[in-house]
Structure 1
Amino acid sequence: MIKKELFIGFLVGLIANAFGFIIAIFIFGNGERISDVFRQSLAQGFFNKLVSIGALLNLVAFFLFLKQKRDYRARGVIFATITVTIATFLLNYK
């Protein structure tokens, strides 16, 4: 049961981060296609900033789970945030 709750929180964290990333691209992309902004962000070195802005939705998910007393799901969101942080670091500084 605990593993299931952690997994659900992890998935919610990844999905929230992806939606936040896409929203950040729409806000800061100046009407360009998502793939073009993604490539430019990697080439120009501001990819980690877009991911950081996208991670703000994880805060919403985390605090909603805490308010609902679903602590293990909140832990899953934290694990997803840490995973995305490590992946971004490795992708950006390889």
Structure 2
Amino acid sequence: MKKEIFIGMLVGCAANIIGLILAATLLGGGDDFTTVIKSAALEGFLGKLISLGAILNLGAFFIFIKKKQDYRARGVLLITVCIAVFTFVFKLF
């Protein structure tokens, strides 16, 4: 059970990183990834960019639910909640 939740958490992290890279590439206006991340941090919308990256977790969650791998889906959901809390705290400070 713990192994399945951990696998779901890894998939959730990977999906979030891939989503962040895609969001930065698509919304970056032709700049490279590091430039977009640095400018997002300076301009104060890095939290929004991370939240956009978490959209891919939705797909991973529903794939695990459809395959009846509930513990893996729980891991993806746990990572998504952690990302939401992180962006909330990041927005405050």
Query: Which TM-score band applies after superposition, normalised by the shorter structure?
Result: over 0.9
Which segments of structure 1 move beyond 4 Å, counting only runs of 4 or more?
A: none
Contact 2:12 2:80 in 1 (8 A): yes
**Counterparts of 2:86 and 2:48, CA distance in 1:** 14
Distance, in Å, in 2 between the alignment partners of 1:50 and 1:77 is 19
RMSD between aligned residues? 1.1
Name the structure 2 match of 1:47. Answer: 46
Equivalent residues, number: 93
Question: Following the alignment from structure 2 to structure 1, what is the Cα–Cα distance between the partners of residues 27 and 10?
Answer: 26
Give 5+ residue unaligned stretches, structure 2.
none
The gaps in structure 1 that reach 5 residues or longer are: none
Counting aligned pairs with the same residue, the percent is 46
TM-score (norm. length: structure 2) = 0.92
Is contact 1:42-1:92 (8 Å) kept? Answer: no
- Does residue 1:56 correspond to 2:75, yes or no? no
